[in-house]
Structure 1
Amino acid sequence: MCQVGEDYGDAAPEGPPPPRPGHELKCVKCKDGLPVVVIRAGDAFCRDCFRAFYIHKFRAVLGKNRLIFPGEKVLLAWSGGPSSSSMVWQVLEGLSRDSAKRLRFVPGVVYVDEGAACGQSWKDRARTLADVKSILQTTGFPWHIVTLEEVFALPPSVLRCSAQEPVGTIGTYKVAVDSFLQQQHTLVAEGVGGSPNSTPGEEQLSQPCTQDPQDLAGPPPADQTEALSRLFDSVKTLTAKEELLQTLRTHLILHVARAHGYSKVMTGDSCTRLAIKLMTGLALGRGAFLAWDTGFSDERHGSVVVVRPMREHTLKEVAFYNRLFAVPSVFTPAIDTKAPEKASIHRLMEGFLLRLQAQFPSTVSTVYRTSEKLVKAPRDGCASGPRCLLCMCLLDVDTADSATAFGAQTQDCSQMQSPTPPAEAPTVPCCSTEVGRAQNCFRGTRPCGREDSRACVIEQLCYSCRVNMKDVPSLDPLPPYILAEAQLRSQRRSPEIQEYLVESSDDDVHTGGSGAWVPPEQEGKDGQAACDCINKNIFN
């Protein structure tokens, strides 16, 4: 009969049980080596097999999509974090002679210093930049270091979608590869190249490291740093700050790519980060643009295409690889460092998914696989419509007479504008030299009040950007290129109604009246002049 407190057996041994003879854990691939990492339950890899597995993932993503052609210039967006550092090292190894199938594109690296937005002093930023330069010099790639303050000197043309070449098919990719190889053999035969198997990226590695002469040589102007701090201090919520920071960073990288002739930009977004971005985008109202935000390629910018070759790697795999193979990285505090979990939608969604991943290991992969099924297909009639002023996506939104919540919001924005002035009102532009340009001035017969200028900017944004701009009380601290481009877009006429309007006289054309046609080159000059005027109003 059982007795309370009676001991019926020996105590359980502490620690894991000793392995039975003949049943030691082995690598799942080579079946011979001792495993050093366990990616998933039952997936244990030795060091060499894990390295081959990791590299194959990176190469397979590039080979499956075939968007990067031989000899093409590719800009690697490096933030100093684990994923982007691993991406740079994958490209570096892919260009070496020891690689089985070498990469054939010409890489460059860009680093954006965001210390001013995070409240760092210049002393701390200079210490970080010293570590960044030491790492970039070891790569041998051309590198560009820019500060976030440079967004206050960007031209309005950054927000314009330039002409995009048609995406090549498999046949055109093979033709490009054959043409590239034939060109290499021709150069070798003429004695220009080094060897028939050398690539432009490999020849670049043999040359000394180069740096853009316009790169950072000292602290940025104090007025730009103050303007950037004032901009982020004016934003109410951390969610809007993170979205604004990502938008400005993208515009700056896009400008660097266009200025130096890069046609592709590589980012280090991992599988885990893209899953979090997908759920965050749904919460922020970016459901129509998730295919561009999380897909392998993002063609919204026209001539520069953003690609994400690290989208098959999880953060766990990236951490293991960087640890085992000593991939250097730089720690830089972000704008949400030490923020509580409920401080922003980004942090809340990240904590939610990572907690689910700890209990259900297939959570991240399931969300990520869902993003692969999204199709980049805008609604009928919206393929060539206007684009958002900030995220540069097509304005795939409902009209003002729609019964949806967004339609009501659009109608409210249109009602915020002042009524049309009477016909006898003078049509002399308020931005003429006699009156002087103002920061909130939109050329035309409409009044130049702050409410009117805000409504003109808001109506050029998508739904998600409009929601974020609600947390920005005033649009005055925005960079001048955004306000200047909004002013230029408000002046343009719709091509459908242009033929029904009465042509303006020559005097109106020369004076730049609201109804005058302005040549494209003059429009660019007007945009730069408006941008310079806004700069003068901000920094004076």
Structure 2
Amino acid sequence: MCQVGEDYGEPAPREPPPAPRPSREHKCVKCKEAQPVVVIRAGDAFCRDCFKAFYIHKFRAMLGKNRLIFPGEKVLLAWSGGPSSSSMVRQVLEGLSQDSAKRLRFVPGVIFIDEGAACGRSPEERAKTLAEVKPILQAIGFPWHVVALEEVFSLPPSVLRCSSQEPAAPDGAYKAAVDNFLQQQHVLGAGGGPGLAHGEEPLPQPRAQSAWDLQSLVRPPAAAQTEALSHLFCSVRTLTAKEELLQTLRVHLILHVARAHGYSKVMTGDSCTRLAIKLMTNLALGRGAFLAWDTGFSDERHGDVVVVRPMREHTLKEVAFYNRLFSVPSVFTPAVDTKAPEKASIHRLMEAFILRLQIQFPSTVSTVYRTSEKLAKAPRDGPAAGTCGPRCLLCMCTLDVDTADSATAFGVQTASHLSQIQSPTPLTETGTPQGLCCSPGGASRREDPQACIAEQLCYGCRVNMKDLGLGFGRAPGLSD
């Protein structure tokens, strides 16, 4: 019989004590003087000024360490209205100001894509969102572009081709470009311009846009295009494929606007937390071969336009604190996964998994993120770097499928499907089954547009095309 007061076995392990909150006795870990207002990690309490300097330094160090954006180069800022992209625009805006210690030397522009049709929003709701976006863009002062997602239907076919990639700049090219830029600005300042000291350059000021310009530059999309886009997204059977399709269309539209207006770089506001979630999501989607392109600082897969991610060192917690402390405006726009349950898509499931694990183990995001930094951008048995080999039509990555390799799951699926369709088919004079065409890899394919398109897609895009509801499930290698 149990005895009252007796202790059987070892006591249950106690939970670790919570991290101490900053009190009046604690000081900032940087200046050791001011009162802390932000706790980024356990024991890292910053005051307002030190946190701002720490935040700005991470952004500038990311750009300075990679040295991909040359002086005078046009850079397009992809602004979605969310916290991370809004913080990125604020960093660029402060970096171009006269009060900045080391001013940024590129020429920025901003693009905002209205994705209301893909999310099922009404015209009134989309107009309300644009009414919130326009004052923010006008206050920023950069040249801006507001385009609707429906404009993907009017893109030229050249967006599906890999543009010629410029050769890599030799060592010392960046320093030579900076010296040349400073020398030109010094000559312009000495030749009758405003008084400029050596090393201080006047950047081109953005053109102020009047209210009439704001109304004339934003053209409502055609009703037929809106209906076609809504029908396309309604035909997608899973939320996972819908999010991948939306991301693909968004990237193609941004790249087209960048090429049309002379931008050679595109900045996105992907934070460290988002990149960690994206890395795990892409692994689950079968895009492991492209992790270095999808999560690295630079993405050169498109050739003439390079995508950079300068916010990849900032966590969502830091972004939220910065926007709150320094009143960074943002606009909430519902996405395709808004109010979706946790298991509605692979993206939502991975996001919930990483964030929940981050709460229990605070080093989760940083560990996954550091892993992505070690990935190399080497082509998979493809042509040499700098050349443009076979690319996926949707994501523009090097094709990672090899139907001749029966050791992979994809090869087994393809061989099984071919054996089913070849058995009842008569042979031609050359011995090829009638109605089948031979692909460059040596495997036979039906003369079907859907099959021909599937052959030009990578493994991850082929899997997503199964859920589009357009018949791609009958393509070779995609059978259930």
TM-score (norm 2): 0.85
Q: Distance in 1 between matches of 2:416 and 2:449?
A: 14
Q: Deviations 1:281-326 (Å, cap 9, x if unpaired)?
A: 0000111000000000000000000000000000000000000000
- 1:356-375 correspondence to structure 2 within 5 Å: 356-375=357-376
- Identity, % of aligned pairs? 77
| 1:455 has 2:451 as partner | yes
Report which stretch shifted further, 379-388 or 305-314.
Answer: 379-388
Considering only CA atoms, is the larger Rg found in Structure 1 or Structure 2?
A: 1
- 1:44-443 correspondence to structure 2 within 5 Å: 44-191=45-192, 195=196, 199=201, 202-205=203-206, 207-209=207-209, 217-383=218-384, 384-411=388-415
Assess, with a 3 A threshold, how the Cα gap between structure 1 residues 309 and 238 changes in structure 2: closer, same or farther. same
Q: Distance in 1 between matches of 2:263 and 2:294?
A: 20
Report which stretch shifted further, 449-458 or 398-407.
Answer: 449-458
Report which stretch shifted further, 210-219 or 259-268.
Answer: 210-219
SS in 1 for 2:355: helix
Q: Quick one: which amino acid aligns to residue 391 of structure 1?
A: C
Q: Quick one: which amino acid aligns to residue 334 of structure 2?
A: P
1:240 CA displacement:
0.2
SS in 2 for 1:471: helix
CA contact (8 A) 1:257 1:304 kept: yes
- 1:475-490 correspondence to structure 2 within 5 Å: none
Q: Quick one: which amino acid aligns to residue 395 of structure 1?
A: L
1:380 CA displacement:
3.0
Assess, with a 3 A threshold, how the Cα gap between structure 1 residues 194 and 390 changes in structure 2: closer, same or farther. farther
Assess, with a 3 A threshold, how the Cα gap between structure 1 residues 137 and 363 changes in structure 2: closer, same or farther. same
Q: Deviations 1:80-109 (Å, cap 9, x if unpaired)?
A: 000000000000000000000000000000
- 1:5-44 correspondence to structure 2 within 5 Å: 24-44=25-45
Report which stretch shifted further, 160-169 or 334-343.
Answer: 160-169
1:182 CA displacement:
1.1
1:118 CA displacement:
0.3
Assess, with a 3 A threshold, how the Cα gap between structure 1 residues 420 and 233 changes in structure 2: closer, same or farther. farther
Q: Could you say which residue in structure 2 is the equivalent of 1:484?
A: none
Assess, with a 3 A threshold, how the Cα gap between structure 1 residues 320 and 250 changes in structure 2: closer, same or farther. same
Q: Distance in 1 between matches of 2:233 and 2:426?
A: 33
Assess, with a 3 A threshold, how the Cα gap between structure 1 residues 371 and 17 changes in structure 2: closer, same or farther. closer
Q: Distance in 1 between matches of 2:28 and 2:42?
A: 13
Q: Distance in 1 between matches of 2:288 and 2:21?
A: 52
1:374 CA displacement:
0.2
Q: Deviations 1:404-450 (Å, cap 9, x if unpaired)?
A: 11123444677769999889xxxxxxxxxxxxxxxxxxxxxxxxx99
CA contact (8 A) 1:266 1:306 kept: yes
Q: Quick one: which amino acid aligns to residue 184 of structure 2?
A: Q
- Give the alignment's Cα RMSD to 1 decimal: 2.8
Q: Distance in 2 between matches of 1:182 and 1:18?
A: 51
Q: Quick one: which amino acid aligns to residue 403 of structure 1?
A: A
CA contact (8 A) 1:70 1:177 kept: yes
CA contact (8 A) 1:75 1:109 kept: yes
1:43 CA displacement:
0.2
Q: Distance in 2 between matches of 1:288 and 1:464?
A: 10
Report which stretch shifted further, 282-291 or 156-165.
Answer: 156-165
Assess, with a 3 A threshold, how the Cα gap between structure 1 residues 287 and 151 changes in structure 2: closer, same or farther. same
Q: Quick one: which amino acid aligns to residue 155 of structure 2?
A: L
Q: Quick one: which amino acid aligns to residue 400 of structure 2?
A: D
Q: Quick one: which amino acid aligns to residue 365 of structure 2?
A: V
- 1:516-531 correspondence to structure 2 within 5 Å: none
CA contact (8 A) 1:145 1:215 kept: no
Give 5+ residue unaligned stretches, structure 1: 5-15, 424-448, 477-540
Assess, with a 3 A threshold, how the Cα gap between structure 1 residues 45 and 401 changes in structure 2: closer, same or farther. closer
SS in 1 for 2:205: helix
Give 5+ residue unaligned stretches, structure 2: 6-18, 431-444, 473-480
Q: Distance in 1 between matches of 2:299 and 2:91?
A: 21
SS in 2 for 1:392: coil
Q: Quick one: which amino acid aligns to residue 147 of structure 2?
A: V
Q: Distance in 2 between matches of 1:307 and 1:412?
A: 41
CA contact (8 A) 2:287 2:460 kept: yes
Assess, with a 3 A threshold, how the Cα gap between structure 1 residues 414 and 400 changes in structure 2: closer, same or farther. farther
- 1:462-473 correspondence to structure 2 within 5 Å: 462-473=458-469
SS in 2 for 1:93: helix
Report which stretch shifted further, 165-174 or 453-462.
Answer: 165-174
Assess, with a 3 A threshold, how the Cα gap between structure 1 residues 109 and 215 changes in structure 2: closer, same or farther. farther
Q: Quick one: which amino acid aligns to residue 462 of structure 2?
A: R
SS in 2 for 1:146: strand
TM-score (norm 1): 0.76
CA contact (8 A) 2:450 2:471 kept: yes
Q: Distance in 2 between matches of 1:19 and 1:171?
A: 46
How many pairs align? Answer: 434
SS in 1 for 2:111: strand
